[in-house]
Chains A and B, each alone.
Chain A
């Protein structure tokens, strides 16, 4: 896409290339640019409820230094946050709270479920605990561990960055708000029951009706 000067006699000499106009131009795909910007400036909304939050703080502190990946600013206001990190177990009493925080976060937004309790309820297969925060909000990355080491959380964050780099702004559905439906649930009721079926030793503990 050379520029030509029609007043000039010899067209061959007058061709100006883009780089000749300004050496600072780069051409790229818009998706790449957007995803590059988004994935490298993820501001976490820390939702720390238990021992995972200690590991999360260690991840953010100097030894592991989450700032290397563009997450140096913890956003304690959901309005300025990009990624919700649920670090720790979530009791039913906090379910409307995390849901409210998630609803307050503007798009684009992602969620990381850190640790066994946030992902599945963990050892707390009891009356007071949400059996996996994915029954409350959509989750992008699950980090296993009890609690995960900071390396584990960072690996999860890098996975999320990889996921973001594969997104496209042409797909509006990625940014759809996934609201609580008319059933009062985020997932269909049978899915919630299925996800939270007893496992391991806890199958012996029956639910009386």
Chain B
């Protein structure tokens, strides 16, 4: 059970130095990949006949209490046909902008998973078609809650948090896709109509 996944040797022969290290934890093989080749590695794992990791179980991230230690983005892969699992991690230096290329083009299921990692950890997925907050509301201004430097109760006082929450207008931040589903564009406030017409997406731009 706790034997190393055969994918590791195949990855090393295919990508060489881009495979930084690997380890086994709780019978799961974990492979650290350099950020530059991450997308190539994941695309290869998905499409190679011997690998065939056709299901992206989860995308998440880990922030460690040690501020020197990099933040890790975790991709949990599953091959439904081979019944095999593989965990790919990429380490992001916290002193640099937290950016990693999206895998939305490989697995469509990455859409909301990457939005959640963005919402909770502030990792930007370049090339993501709709990178908005997904759990917190879009005007949420306190930061990224699952970072270790984020205090449990948030940065603002309770009164300020309550005031901002009551001032939120949930309907004003639906995406254009969500609105076209409801065909409610005409019922939006005027300023929101203008924002959407300009192609604005949430608070990012």
Q: Which of A79-134 contact B (CB under 8 A)?
A: 92-93, 95-97, 99, 125-128, 130-131
Chain B residue contacts of A196, Cβ below 8 A: 158
B: number of interface residues (CB 8 Å): 25
Q: Which of B137-176 contact A (CB under 8 A)?
A: 137, 142, 145, 150-155, 157-170
Chain B residue contacts of A130, Cβ below 8 A: 162, 165
Chain A residue contacts of B157, Cβ below 8 A: 189, 193, 207
**Interface of chain A, main secondary structure:** loop
Any A CB within 8 A of the CB of B136: yes
Cα–Cα distance between A125 and B168 once the two chains are bound (Å)? 21
Cα–Cα distance between A137 and B155 once the two chains are bound (Å)? 24
Chain A residue contacts of B169, Cβ below 8 A: 96
Cα–Cα distance between A106 and B72 once the two chains are bound (Å)? 51
Any B CB within 8 A of the CB of A62: no
Any B CB within 8 A of the CB of A185: yes
22 A-B contact pairs sorted by A residue (CB < 8 Å)? A92-B161, A95-B168, A96-B167, A96-B170, A97-B170, A125-B153, A127-B154, A128-B145, A128-B154, A130-B165, A135-B162, A185-B159, A189-B159, A190-B159, A192-B158, A193-B157, A195-B158, A198-B153, A205-B153, A207-B154, A207-B155, A208-B155
Give the one of B135, B150, B153, B160 with max A CB within 10 A: B153
Cα–Cα distance between A183 and B162 once the two chains are bound (Å)? 11
List of 4 A-B pairs having minimum Cβ-Cβ separation, nearest first: A127-B154, A189-B159, A92-B165, A95-B165
User: Given known contacts A136-B162, A186-B166, A189-B157, what 18 new A-B pairs fall within 8 Å (CB)?
Assistant: A92-B162, A95-B162, A96-B169, A125-B152, A126-B152, A126-B153, A127-B150, A128-B136, A135-B158, A135-B162, A184-B163, A185-B162, A185-B163, A189-B160, A190-B159, A193-B159, A198-B153, A209-B155
Q: In the assembled complex, how far is the CB of residue B158 from the closest CB belonging to chain A, in whole angstroms?
A: 4
Chain B residue contacts of A126, Cβ below 8 A: 152-154
Q: How large is the interface on A (under 10, 10 to 19, 20 to 34, 35 or more residues)?
A: 20 to 34
Q: Given that A93-B136, A127-B145, A207-B154 are known contacts, is A184 also in contact with B167, CB under 8 Å in the complex? A: yes
Q: Which of A114-166 contact B (CB under 8 A)?
A: 125-128, 130-131, 135-136
Chain A residue contacts of B166, Cβ below 8 A: 95-96, 99, 136, 180, 184-186
Contact assessment for A205 and B136 in the assembled complex, using a CB-CB cutoff below 8 Å = no
Chain B residue contacts of A93, Cβ below 8 A: 135-137, 165, 168, 170
Cα–Cα distance between A13 and B158 once the two chains are bound (Å)? 76
Cα–Cα distance between A133 and B177 once the two chains are bound (Å)? 32
Any B CB within 8 A of the CB of A173: no
Contact assessment for B152 and A127 in the assembled complex, using a CB-CB cutoff below 8 Å = yes
Q: Given that A93-B136, A207-B153 are known contacts, is A127 also in contact with B165, CB under 8 Å in the complex? A: no
Cα–Cα distance between A206 and B142 once the two chains are bound (Å)? 16
Cα–Cα distance between A14 and B159 once the two chains are bound (Å)? 72
Chain B residue contacts of A205, Cβ below 8 A: 151-153
Cα–Cα distance between A103 and B194 once the two chains are bound (Å)? 28
Cα–Cα distance between A53 and B135 once the two chains are bound (Å)? 21
Q: Which of B104-152 contact A (CB under 8 A)?
A: 135-137, 142, 145, 150-152
Q: In the assembled complex, how far is the CB of residue A198 from the closest CB belonging to chain B, in whole angstroms?
A: 8
Chain A residue contacts of B155, Cβ below 8 A: 207-209
Cα–Cα distance between A196 and B157 once the two chains are bound (Å)? 10
Q: In the assembled complex, how far is the CB of residue B149 from the closest CB belonging to chain A, in whole angstroms?
A: 8
Give the one of A97, A136, A186, A207 with max B CB within 10 A: A207
Chain A residue contacts of B165, Cβ below 8 A: 92-93, 95-96, 130
